[in-house]
Amino acid sequence: MSLILGLDIATVSGFAWYDDKASMSAIKTGLIKATGDNAEEKAASLAVQLIALMKPGRPDFVAIEQPMRNVKMFKKQRKDLAGEHQEMTINPNALQLEGLVCAAVAIVAAYRIPWETIDSQTWRKGFLGTGRMPGRDRAGWKKAAVDRCRSLKIDVKNSDAAEAVGIAFAGASCQTLKLLEARRAAA
């Protein structure tokens, strides 16, 4: 039996507690809001809240959605005193997200809890039945996760919590957890 904590990390992070031997409707979900004026303060806020979240019931395993590994550049129109011009930029949230995920991993690792990051296509395929769907945008994936949770009678407040359920569900199939369980059974 494994108690899995699924995390959909963002400024507002969804979490899901999944006992892989209990009914799916027994999954408990919630949200953590990282606060602060900059990325470092938000990472610290998330870390402190994760400690509080794990204090009453230590998970056997933590599954975390893997952030995108590439940062995309795009052109942005900008207007200033010299007129209108284009500049290349990145989405600063992509950098902040990596910092938040690293803060979560650091806390989990400090408590010596096994963990794994899971690509969004992987957890979506396991939880929703498909990892890619042409034409489905971010909002469509979020709606699909909420709809799936509701069909399983899992109480979710929003799409962040619903996606955390999918991540926790995929965590039950992770190689890291399977090796851990095999070691426990052999001991």
Task: Assign residue 153 a region (left: φ > 0; alpha: ψ between -120 and 50; beta: otherwise).
Answer: left
Domain count, the chain: 1
Residues 6 or more apart whose Cβ sits within 8 Å of residue 9:
46, 64, 65, 67, 97, 100, 101, 104
* Those residues with Cβ within 8 angstroms of residue 113's Cβ, 6 or more apart along the chain or in another chain: 54, 58, 59, 60, 61, 62
Contact 39, 97 (CB under 8 A): no
The set of residues, in sequence order, having a beta carbon less than 8 Å from that of 179 and lying 6+ positions away, is: none
Q: Which amino acid type is present at position 167?
A: I
Domain of 180 in residue numbering reads as 3-186
pTM greater than 0.75:
yes
* CATH number (domain holding residue 38): 3.30.420.10
Q: Is 95 helix (H, G, I), strand (E, B) or coil?
A: helix
Token couple for 154: 């899992």
**Per-residue model confidence as pLDDT tens for the chain (187 residues):** 689 999 999 999 999 999 988 998 999 999 999 999 998 999 999 999 999 999 988 999 999 999 876 666 667 788 888 888 887 766 666 677 888 999 999 999 999 999 999 999 899 999 998 766 666 788 889 999 999 999 999 999 999 999 999 999 999 999 898 888 888 889 8
